Amino acid sequence: MLFTLAHSPQQCDLPALVRMICERDALLLMQDGVIAGLEDSLALPHITQLQCPVYVLTEDLQARGLVGQISDKLTPIDYTGFVELTEQHMQHIAW
């Protein structure tokens, strides 16, 4: 399953999201969700405890001026990579 986090971690129940995700899933941080991947973010420890791959959408990082501030534990992808993730995961949950 593909999970997407599009809201700021301050505006959602991030621990609940993390509990739902298993190692076969993938998480994509997009829109304001990219804030969760900032190096000094309080949300980052929740994200990095996941056993699944965690991606961050580069276009949303660029739009928010956050390039270079994201944790190196996350994998940056572009929209083409996002499409590939949707092809790999039949189900999608937007958070």
pLDDT tens, position by position, 35-79: 999 999 999 999 999 999 999 999 999 999 999 999 999 999 999
- What percent of the chain has a predicted confidence (pLDDT) above 70? 100
Per-residue pLDDT, 55:
98
Report the distance separating Cα 58 and Cα 83, nearest Å. 14
- 20 pLDDT tier (thresholds 50, 70, 90): very high
CATH number at 68 reads: 3.40.1260.10
Q: 93 forms bridges with which residues in the sheet?
A: 3
Q: How many domains does the chain have?
A: 1
Q: CA triplet 79, 82, 87: central angle to 5 degrees?
A: 130
Residue numbers of the domain that contains 84: 2-94
Per-residue pLDDT, 42:
94
Per-residue pLDDT, 83:
97
